[in-house]
Amino acid sequence: MDAGLKERDVIILLLAVGALIFAVANRPRLRLLPAWRVLWAAFCCALAGWTLSVLQMLFLRNQMMFLEDLSYAASSVLTAAWCWIVFATRREESKNVGRDG
């Protein structure tokens, strides 16, 4: 199994695809999130990492692993950027959707 597919990675990918389907299905509502494109990019990078973790078992292991790490890092950076935009800046969003209260 070490040389082939890991069950864990497949399960993660399936869960991620499920999340992707949900996100696409509710895309109109998710678009109401502030700086939605940044968050969506972060999710897509994470999804790419999860996909690469499966692909690295099939071919180009080292390259895929590097790209996987790079995807996770990009996802983290984008997530940080989104959090900075949404939580740390004073910029008023026209759409104050999701705010507490």
Partner 1 sequence: MWAGTVDLAGLLASAAALVFLVGGRRRPLRQDARVLLIAVVLASIFQSTVNALSHLGIYSALDPAEDYVAILSPMLWGFFLYSFVQDVIHRELRESEERNRILLASLPQRVFFKNSDSVFVSVNEPFARDLSLQPGQLVGKTDWDFHPPDLAAKYRADDQRVMATGRPETLVERNVVGRVERTVEVVKAPVVNDDGNVVGLFGIFSDITERKRAEEELRERERFLTSIFASIQDGLSILDADLRIVRVNPTMESWYAYNMPLAGRKCYEAYQGRAEPCEVCPSRKTLETGQGAFAAVPKRGAGGEIAGWLDLYTFPLIDTVTGQLKGVIEYVRDITAHKQAEDALRYRFELERLITTISSSFINLAHDEIDDGINRALRTVGEFAGVDRAYLFQFSEDGRTADNTHEWCAEGVEPQIANLKGIVLDEQLPWVSARLRNNQVIHVPRAAALPPDAQLEKGYFEKRGIRSLFAVPVLSGGKVVGFVGFDSVRAEKSWDDNIVVLLRIMGVVFSHALERKRAEEARRASEERYRLVFENARDMISLLSLDGLSYLYVNPATLATLGYSPDELIGKNALQFVHPDDADAVAAKFRETMSQGEGGAEFRYKRKNGSYLWLEATGRVTRDGEAQAVVLVISRDITERMQRQEELRALSWEDPLTRINNRRGFSHLAEQQLKVANRTGSTMLLFFADVDQMKWINDNLGHKTGDLALIETANVLKEAFRESDIVGRVGGDEFAVLAIQARSNEADEILARLQRRLDARNAQGDRRYSLSLSVGIACYDPRNPLPLDELMARSDALMYERKRNKRSPESLKA
Residues that bind partner 1 (CB under 8 A): 8-9, 11-12, 15-16, 18-19, 22-23, 26, 29-30, 32-34, 43, 46-47, 50, 65-66, 69-70, 72-77, 79-80, 82-84, 86-90, 93, 96-100
Nearest distance, CB of residue 58 and partner 1, angstroms: 18
| Between 19 and 57, CB nearer to partner 1 | 19
Nearest distance, CB of residue 12 and partner 1, angstroms: 6
Report the alpha-carbon distance of residue 63 to residue 17 in Å, rounded: 23
Residue 2 token pair: 């070490």
Nearest distance, CB of residue 1 and partner 1, angstroms: 13
Would you put residue 54 in left (φ > 0), alpha (ψ -120 to 50) or beta? alpha
Residue 54 vs residues 37, 63, 95: alpha-carbon distances, Å: 26, 13, 38
